Structures are given as C-alpha cells and as structure tokens.
Amino acid sequence: MFVNDFSVLIPVYSKENPEFLREALNSIWEGQSLKPLEIVLVKDGPLTDDLEKVISEFNQKAPLKIHKLEVNSGLGIALAEGLKVCSCNLVARMDSDDISTSDRFEKQVRFMSEHPEIGVSGTYIAEFETTINNIVSYRRLPTEYSDIQHFAKRRNPLNHMTVIFKKEAVLTAGNYVTVHGYEDYYLWVRMLNNNVKIVNLPEVMVYARIKDIYAKRRGIKLFTIEFELQKKILGIGFINKLNFISNIFFRALPRLLPAGCLKYVYKFIRN
C-alpha cells in the first residue's frame, strides 16, 4: 500500500495573483484524496502583503514548509533551493496559478509506487480561461519512454506543473539550473541522458491557466537564450548536429517573428 510520503514543491514570487495562489494551494490540499506529507513553498524574494496573507491563512490548515530567498532569484534557483529542503524522495511540482484535480496525487503516487523503475512521470493538462469550466485547449504529450526520448530532441516532453519525480534522480542530474524559460526542459534532457525513465500518464490531472505567452517568447534575447539552450543540449550529446540545425530553424529563428506570426508557428509545431 502506498503512503503519503511525498512533498509538493511550489515557488511563488511577488507578481503572482493572490487569488490564483489560493486556488492552487487549496487544490493540492483540500479535497485531495491523498494529501502530501509537506508542501514546500519557496518565496522567491519579498512578496506582497496580499500574497503573504494567503500563505499565512493556508499555513494554519496544511503542513507548509516555507523556504525564503532574500532576493528574487528566478525559477531555476528557487526550485533548486526548494528541492534541497524537501524531506521526501518523491516530489510533486505545482505552479502557483494552476489547479490540480482532486485525485491527482493518489493516481501519480500509486503509479510511481507500482513502477519503481520510473524516475519522472507527468500528465496531460487542460488549458483554461477564468474558470476550469472554460477549457480552451489540451496539451497531450507522448506517454511511452521510447517516444519521449525521441520527442525530447525537439520539444519539452513534460508539462512541468504536472510532474512527480524522484529527488535523488534530479540531484544526480545536477538539479534545476537557470536557463531562462527552460529550467525544466534542460533538466529532463539531462535526466534522459542519464537513462532515467520518463513517462506521461494519459489523463488530465492539472488545469493550467492560459497566459499571454507569445509576446514573451520573441525577441533577440529569447533567440539568444534558445540558441544557447540548443548548444547545451548538443554539448551533452543528447542531440546531434542535424538536430541542432533543425531546432535552430524551427525553435530559435521564430523568436524573431512578430507575436502574431509566432502564434501560428507554435500552433503548427504543436499539431
């Protein structure tokens, strides 16, 4: 019988919406059929009074472990530092504005318990606007390890906010590092390079809030970041030079397109 010997890791920074945070926190505690042993919340720098109020209220009813960073350090450092203080080897990720289904942890923890050879598992997501009753799209990814190995050479094979992983496997791969916007993707390819088995469960277990992402995914700075990411992935031998050139063409160069054009490029790639 599996037990609740797992942590939930969630970072928060000052620009988060307090009500979205409240919904996210409630979704991983209230109504969950399997509750975590602890919820590790990383304060990535000083927070607003409204965010602090939400956290204080939640701390009265759930096993919250707060880890504070004195300055805003970014997602990579926040997750790396937060992971170090997680008590459990099994760690679930959660974003501060998404909503988990009530049976998410029960299903994921059971799966990991029944498949000890798996190092990371993720799930599908349903993307919504305003409320989870307004689903606008789904992000379904390959489920099998062999398919994920191939898929990861071109795109991120996991929905980050859905994953549950073994802490030791993440630390062995070097933990999260700062690669702006790609902290998770770069971690997964390093883990795959270490022969860690990664799978996705073919079910929606997280509702992800739609964000205006296209304007934030373009510009010379993002092109440079994408280019450097591909160099890193090539450098560790996960992709070859042909993969590298293809990824620069299909992933990096579109960063220089207008936001409207980039939207259609992403729809084409995702389909």
Number of domains in the chain: 2
- The answer as to whether 200 is a domain residue is yes
> How confident is the model over 209-222, as pLDDT tens digits?
987 544 455 557 77
Same domain, 130 and 230: no
- The answer as to whether 96 is a domain residue is yes
- The answer as to whether 154 is a domain residue is yes
pLDDT of residue 184: 97
CB of 11 closer than 8 Å to CB of 75: yes
pLDDT at 271 exceeding the cut of 90: no
Q: How confident is the model at residue 86 (pLDDT cuts 50, 70, 90)?
A: very high
pLDDT at 262 exceeding the cut of 60: no
Which amino acid, 11? P
Same domain, 41 and 139: yes
Same domain, 200 and 128: yes
User: Which one of 173, 188, 209 terminates a domain?
Assistant: 209
Enter the pTM of the model.
0.89
Same domain, 189 and 240: no
pLDDT of residue 209: 93
Same domain, 199 and 90: yes
Same domain, 78 and 135: yes
- Residue given tokens 């902290």 in the structure block: 183
Q: What CATH number does the domain containing 150 carry?
A: 3.90.550.10
Average pLDDT (176-194) is 95
- The answer as to whether 30 is a domain residue is yes
- The answer as to whether 232 is a domain residue is yes
User: Which one of 194, 209, 224 terminates a domain?
Assistant: 209
User: Which one of 209, 238, 260 terminates a domain?
Assistant: 209
pLDDT of residue 223: 78
pLDDT at 207 exceeding the cut of 90: yes
Same domain, 155 and 37: yes
- The answer as to whether 166 is a domain residue is yes
- The answer as to whether 261 is a domain residue is yes
- Residue given tokens 């998410």 in the structure block: 104
Same domain, 146 and 224: no
Same domain, 69 and 103: yes
What is the chain's mean pLDDT, rounded? 90
Average pLDDT (69-88) is 97
Same domain, 193 and 233: no
Q: Which residues constitute the domain of residue 252?
A: 215-270
Same domain, 156 and 241: no
> How confident is the model over 136-172, as pLDDT tens digits?
999 999 999 999 999 999 999 999 999 999 999 999 9
pLDDT of residue 67: 98
Same domain, 223 and 200: no
CB of 112 closer than 8 Å to CB of 90: yes
